Amino acid sequence: MSEQESGARVIDPPLDGEGLRVGIAAARFNEFFVGHLLEACQRELRRHGVAEGDQTIAWVPGSFELPVAARELIDAEKPDVVICLGCIIRGETTHYDHVAQESARGIAQVALTGKTPVIYGIVTAETVEQAINRCGGKFGNRGGDAALAALAMARSLEQIRGV
């Protein structure tokens, strides 16, 4: 059923980044992988019209610190959207579980307690091979996916809010 047939208001804006300000929090831990995520993220942002000068990148020690960086980017830079990029690879201890769970919880908390969308762009992988495949290998690049999600959320919220 089309929008006109149902009478529903449909919010589905195009992925247009022109004029958007984007904050990117990137984890240094597993920087090799995060670098590939960041590269794909910025490539998609540029491809959809986000100017380099409208992007702020904040490097932090690891994925656990991403929620704090996201909150501070929102407060200091006033971006339209923040993207959190990281890569957590399972090791021999339970550290992986704690970092993955708490970074996800923290990012969700920042997103839900503010008005700025915060995008979860963290690759969680059981093996280095899985990380390679999700950071530009055979399963694509989650950094580019995060950029597209950011554009969609920023523009959707503009329409919802009537901006």
Q: How far apart are the first and last CA of the chain?
A: 27
Q: What are phi and psi of 116, to 5 degrees?
A: -100, 125
Q: Are strands 22-27 and 140-141 parallel, antiparallel or unpaired?
A: unpaired
The answer to whether 95 is a known catalytic residue is yes
Q: Are strands 140-141 and 118-125 parallel, antiparallel or unpaired?
A: unpaired
Positions of E strands within the chain = 22-27, 55-60, 81-89, 118-125, 135-137, 140-141
Find the catalytic residue in 36, 48, 95, 98: 95
Burial label, 35 (beta-carbon count in 10 A; 0-12, 13-18, 19+): middle
Catalytic residues: 95
